[in-house]
């Protein structure tokens, strides 16, 4: 529990210095909070940086969701990443399939295709 306290202190210092909007800092915060088990804080940091997200931020959030067994959120994040024009690492795709199961990914993909057809 001590690590999360130091992480929040780093986050507060970054805010004081105006660095909290930097994409590298945001990705580091997403990763830090996730590794400390503070998924709500990781999600908040991820959402705060919505306009500046890069592949590293998405991959950090994907890893957090999978670590906490939130497969549906992980797969949705993959689709959001694709919609943003970013490509996930092949290793991350393999990990999502391994952790969440191919059936979950397949079902989400099938639903996504059906939703895409409705919006066309």
Amino acid 75: pLDDT: 84
Amino acid 54: pLDDT: 87
77 and 65 Cβ atoms separated by less than 8 Å: yes
Q: Is 100 exposed, middle or buried (0-12, 13-18, 19+ CB in 10 A)?
A: buried
Residues lower than pLDDT 70 in the chain: 1, 103-120
């Amino acid at each position: 529990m001590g690590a999360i306290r130091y992480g929040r202190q780093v986050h507060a210092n970054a805010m004081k210095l105006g660095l909290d909007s930097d994409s590298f800092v945001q990705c580091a915060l997403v990763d830090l909070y996730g590794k400390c088990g503070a998924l709500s804080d990781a999600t908040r940091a991820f959402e705060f940086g919505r306009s500046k997200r890069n592949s590293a931020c998405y991959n950090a959030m994907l890893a957090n969701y999978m670590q906490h067994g939130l497969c549906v959120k992980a797969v949705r994040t993959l689709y959001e990443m694709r919609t943003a024009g970013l490509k996930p690492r092949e290793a991350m795709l393999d990990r999502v399939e391994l952790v969440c199961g191919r059936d979950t990914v397949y079902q989400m993909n099938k639903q996504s295709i059906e939703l895409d057809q409705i919006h066309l």
